[in-house]
Amino acid sequence: MPANHGHPLEPFDVPVADGVLVGCRGGDGPPALVLHGGPALPDYTEGLAAELGDLFTTFRYTQRGAAPSTVGPPYTIESHMEDALAVLDRFGIDRVWAVGHSWGGHLALHLAVAHADRLLGVVAVDPLGAYAEAAEEMGASLRRPLTAEQRARVDEVEELRRRGEARDADLQERWALIWPHYFADPAAAMPVPPRVGVQCSRDTNASIGAHFEHGTLVDGLPQVRLPMLFVHGVLDPVPLWSVDRTASLVPGARLEAIPDCGHFPWWERPGEIRRIVGEWLRAR
């Protein structure tokens, strides 16, 4: 198993409800819970955790609804937060840094609102922020480079997903079409992770939408008193304005924008996440 800045990686299992969350611990320093995006993807954050491995002891796991983890429904913001806390409890960790990417960054923000007492702070890397309009703009941005035929197929799969009729193969096809356009240079995209878990994808996104409508983050983040860093690629299909507005909700939060970078900074601009987070921690 590969090392994390010279520190061996240690696999772990966390029993939850009807299954287990499968994860890995590495690095050295204060504890950090690394939350991957998706939802309904297996954990792909090995490179992110490796960059942060001399700043934090990282705990990353595949979320419910995706193999190799075996935890089933419900798939909601609340159940995903309960899973994150279960990982902390498994290791006897009272408080942790929440380091989240994409949907995982969105989940970290919900943890900050609902469970601030369990966090040391938040590092949100290219997160889905607090505004539903940003999710819509991201979808339009990912569809724009596609051919008319490809856009029609993406729309067809989305409709199948909303009706609960999409198959895993449908989601994987859609995912492969849009994946390269998360990157500033689509030709240099990292390998496509398998997208699994039709129900997890549908139900978790429905829960995200419900919280957008309720204003959970817009109303809750101004009450958070935790150190919070947002890192975002300027060319990310998740619009920079949404992350800027989300960061402005949190007293004292900082936003660092990375030029010539899309949605995956540790792949597209190696070392930038390590530099930005390290400098921010030293300046606190």
Q: Are residues 83 and 208 both part of a single domain?
A: yes
- CA distances (Å), origin 275, targets 50, 98, 201, 236, 281: 13, 18, 33, 19, 10
Grouped pLDDT means (10 residues each) for the chain, 284 residues:
62 96 97 95 96 97 95 97 98 98 98 98 97 94 96 92 83 91 96 82 94 98 98 98 98 97 98 98 92
Query: What residue type is 118 in one-letter code?
Result: R
Last residue of a domain, one of 163, 188, 213: 188
In a domain, 194, yes or no: no
Q: Are residues 115 and 28 both part of a single domain?
A: yes
How far, in Å, CA of 148 to CA of 138, rounded? 18
The pLDDT assigned to 4 comes to 55
CATH number at residue 98: 3.40.50.1820
Q: Are residues 233 and 108 both part of a single domain?
A: yes
Six-digit token pair at 2? Answer: 């590969």
The pLDDT assigned to 266 comes to 98
Q: Are residues 145 and 26 both part of a single domain?
A: no
Q: Are residues 9 and 77 both part of a single domain?
A: yes
In a domain, 143, yes or no: yes
In a domain, 149, yes or no: yes
The pLDDT assigned to 252 comes to 96
How far, in Å, CA of 123 to CA of 116, rounded? 14
Q: Are residues 141 and 127 both part of a single domain?
A: no
Angle at 272 between CA 93 and CA 34, to 5 degrees: 25
Q: Are residues 12 and 102 both part of a single domain?
A: yes
Q: Are residues 108 and 224 both part of a single domain?
A: yes
Q: Are residues 40 and 173 both part of a single domain?
A: no
Q: Are residues 99 and 176 both part of a single domain?
A: no
Domain count of the chain? 2
Last residue of a domain, one of 188, 222, 257: 188
Closest to 74 in 3D by CA, of 113, 112, 17: 17
In a domain, 150, yes or no: yes
Residue 153 sits in which domain range?
136-188
In a domain, 198, yes or no: no
Q: Are residues 30 and 106 both part of a single domain?
A: yes
In a domain, 162, yes or no: yes
Query: What residue type is 10 in one-letter code?
Result: E
Strands 96-101 and 228-233: unpaired
Residues 6+ apart with CB under 8 A from 165: none
The pLDDT assigned to 237 comes to 97
Is the four-CA dihedral 78, 80, 83, 87 of positive or negative sign?
negative
* Chain Cα centroid distance, residue 213: 20
In a domain, 219, yes or no: yes
Closest to 244 in 3D by CA, of 132, 136, 127: 127
In a domain, 193, yes or no: no
The pLDDT assigned to 264 comes to 98
Peptide bond into 68 cis (omega under 30): yes
Last residue of a domain, one of 188, 219, 251: 188
Q: Are residues 71 and 176 both part of a single domain?
A: no
Residue written as tokens 């030029």? Answer: 259
pTM: 0.95
